[in-house]
Structure 1
Amino acid sequence: MNEFANKLTESIQPIADQFKSLPIPASVTHWGHPLFMAIVIFAMGSFVAISGWRSRTTTDNEVAIKNKADHRKVAPLMTVFLATGYTGGLLSLVMQGKPLLESPHFLTGSVVLTLLAINGTISLTGFGGNQPLLRNAHAYLGSAIVVLLIAHALLGLKLGLSI
């Protein structure tokens, strides 16, 4: 893993150097990623989870349709923002001269993106022809991802305070 981390750092370093040449305050370099990702996790993540569950549990068909549409609109955007934030977090560490791929925060972020890819694939297949098992797997996996994102945020706060 160290060799891969070193190669990744080398590949990101030129971009980090470009950003370091800008008049960006150290506090923004250090806390920008956590701030923006907290917004994505807590605002978008809760919206996606609530709208997804409302679409499943309501008895009002109009409410279900609206929530399903909201979930379909925001969940992919949240995933894109999280993937972008993942790369931003790596860039922030390189800019601060910190090691990559060593923290539990990195591990949970990687697991989150992997699970989001799996969950998105389940959805994109049309839940295997609208199979209840896959719809349930999507819902519960999505809920597990939200819980993991909260743990990820706490680990990120711990990491941010330690460096």
Structure 2
Amino acid sequence: MPLSSILVLPLAHAEGNFAHQLGHALEPAAAAFRGMNLPEPLTHWGHPFFMGIVIFFMGAFVALSGWKSRLSEESAVVDKSRADHRKVAPLMTLFLTMGYSGGLLSLVMQQKPILESPHFITGSIVVTLLWLNGSLGFFGIKGPATVTRTAHAYIGTTITVLLLVHVALGLNLGFSI
């Protein structure tokens, strides 16, 4: 059984009614955007283009500044990297959360099924982990060697790897619809 089937099957039964209701709720906004007669490539590839910018530029910056603050032995580098990480990570989380909803809207605009693809599953996991990790960073990190600080670093690294998988699944989805 392919991995996509394993990931999607548990949602198949519960998803139907909720996906229909969500699609119905998003339809007025989707219809408004459809009414703008946007070029098809923008409608089809706008979400991946803009989220790609967020993932590759902001995501790389957040990951590198986070690990730089953790691994550097120079206090000036640690302080600057930590400050940079704290400035950009919340914005990246906000943009990815907004992009998550934008991806759903994009599918409704194109009149494609929502909540069914492995791309949706990885996106849901990424957004959940981002908010969890941000909470650890905001509320739980006290001192240089705490368990929550270590968990924050490794959850962040997991998010980075998962985002790469998410991008691959998204490209696959984009080329298949």
Normalising by the smaller structure, the TM-score range is over 0.9
Residue 72 of structure 1 pairs with residue 72 of structure 2 = no
Identity in percent = 56
The one-letter code sitting in structure 2 at the alignment partner of 1:97 is Q
Whether contact under 8 Å (2:140, 2:149) holds in the other structure is no
Instruction: Give the AA of the match of 1:63.
Output: V
1:52-97 per-position Cα deviation (integer Å, ceiling 9, x unaligned): 0000100110010000000000000000000010011001000000
SS of the residue 1:125 aligns to: helix
1:98 aligned partner: 112
Amino acid at match of 2:112: K
Deviation at 1:126, TM superposition (A): 3.8
* Cα contact 2:140–2:148 (8 A) shared by 1: no
Rounded to whole Å, the distance in 2 between the matches of 1:17 and 1:114 is 29
Q: Structure 2 residue aligned with 1:30, among 26, 44, 53?
A: 44
The CA RMSD over aligned residues, in Å, is 0.8
In the superposition, the TM-score normalised over structure 1's length comes to: 0.97
The question of 1:160 aligning with 2:177 is answered no
Return the alpha-carbon distance in structure 2 between the equivalents of residues 51 and 121 of structure 1: 18
Map of 1:112 onto structure 2: 126
Matching of residue 51 in structure 1 with residue 65 in structure 2: yes
Q: How far apart, in 1, do the equivalents of 2:72 and 2:139 lie?
A: 24
Counterpart Cα distance in 2 of 1:73 and 1:87:
23
Q: How many residues align?
A: 162
CA–CA distance in structure 2, aligned partners of residues 123 and 82 of structure 1: 17
Q: Which letter does structure 2 place at the counterpart of 1:53?
A: W
Structure 1, unaligned runs of 5 or more:
none
Task: Give 1:116's aligned amino acid.
Answer: L
> Which whole-Å deviations, capped at 9, do the CAs of 1:35-60 have from their partners, x for residues lacking one?
00111111110100000000010011
What is the identity, as a one-letter code, of the residue corresponding to 1:27?
P
Query: What's the offset of the Cα at 1:117?
Result: 1.1
Residue identity matched to 1:71: H
Among 15, 19, 24, the alignment partner of 1:10 is: 24
TM-score normalised over the length of structure 2: 0.90
Name the structure 2 match of 1:82.
96
Distance 1:27 1:93 in 2: 13
Return the letter of the residue paired with 1:19: F
Q: Provide, for residues 97-129 of structure 1, a one-character-per-residue CA deviation record: whole Å limited to 9, x for no partner.
A: 0000000000000000111111011112142x4
